[in-house]
């Protein structure tokens, strides 16, 4: 688990370094500042279609019910913002989790819970302590499943350790922040996401849409 968390942390640190080096946000100019937030929470997943195809087998079309559960690290959000006054650009990692709860007889287990990871590029707007954001990005999924008695090796294939580029995602969210000190603040947030993913199963693949309502709270830090 710690190895998987460290991959996400490394990715976010690299993204922050690239964003900081390509602009003048961190130069202390009036109205320009940067922020980093770390939030914990959960999500409510709406029902969606799940289609599983395997070589030599009939296609499974499932009206899937999803839980925000499964193995791996808990739900979290990490977000870096590059601001000019009341508007900014953000890089965000949402570590989402989904697990099929109404399994048909052919599906012993189906989850994307070491990470239904959504990496977003957001446009954000602030009005006082209230922030709205809209973003688009990619899904990097870690699948664990057993279909018709065939269990996929969860740590093999893909980019590394079973993670694979699986699809795309979009979000709209709103948050409210309270300052603790001049630099630190507390944030509560709600958002909706829409994502599509195509992941591997043994001798085939599975594709699905995910519609989720997220709620989270945590801490942030800003610097100029």
Average pLDDT score over residue span 168-190: 97
Res 27: pLDDT: 39
Res 158: pLDDT: 66
* Lookup result for tokens 């279909």: 147
pLDDT tens digits, one per residue of 40-59: 999 999 999 999 999 999 99
2: pLDDT confidence band, cut at 50, 70 and 90? very low
Mean pLDDT of the chain: 87
Comparing CA positions, the residue from 97, 98, 82 lying closest to residue 47 is 98
Pairing verdict, β 66-67 and 163-179: unpaired
Q: In this model, does residue 22 exceed pLDDT 90?
A: no
10: pLDDT confidence band, cut at 50, 70 and 90? very low
Distance CA 197, CA 116 (A): 9
Secondary structure letter of residue 157 according to DSSP: S
User: What are the structural domains of the chain?
Assistant: 2-223 (2.40.160.20)
The distance between the two most distant Cα atoms of the chain, rounded to a whole number of Å, is: 64
Concatenating the DSSP letter of every residue in 79-121 gives EEEEEETTEEEEEEEEEEEEEESS--TTEEEEEEEEEEEEEEE
């Amino acid at each position: 688990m710690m190895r998987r968390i460290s991959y996400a942390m490394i990715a976010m640190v690299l993204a922050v370094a690239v964003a900081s080096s390509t602009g003048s946000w961190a130069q202390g100019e009036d109205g320009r500042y940067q922020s980093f937030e770390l939030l914990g929470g959960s999500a409510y997943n709406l029902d969606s279609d799940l289609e599983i195809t395997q070589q030599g087998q009939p296609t499974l079309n499932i009206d899937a019910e999803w839980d925000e559960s499964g193995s791996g690290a808990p739900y979290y959000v990490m977000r870096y913002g590059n601001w000019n006054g009341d508007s900014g650009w953000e890089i965000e990692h949402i570590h989402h989790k989904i697990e099929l709860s109404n399994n048909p007889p052919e599906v012993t287990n189906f989850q994307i819970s070491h990470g239904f990871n959504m990496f977003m590029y957001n446009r954000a707007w602030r009005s006082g302590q209230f922030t709205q954001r809209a973003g688009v990005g990619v899904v990097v999924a870690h699948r664990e499943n057993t279909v018709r008695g065939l269990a996929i090796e969860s740590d093999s294939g893909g980019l590394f350790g079973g993670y694979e580029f699986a699809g795309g995602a979009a979000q709209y969210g709103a948050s409210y922040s309270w300052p603790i000190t001049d630099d630190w603040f507390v944030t509560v947030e709600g958002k909706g996401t829409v994502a599509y993913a195509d992941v591997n199963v043994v001798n085939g693949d599975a594709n699905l849409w995910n519609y989720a309502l997220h709620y989270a709270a945590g801490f942030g830090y800003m610097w100029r």
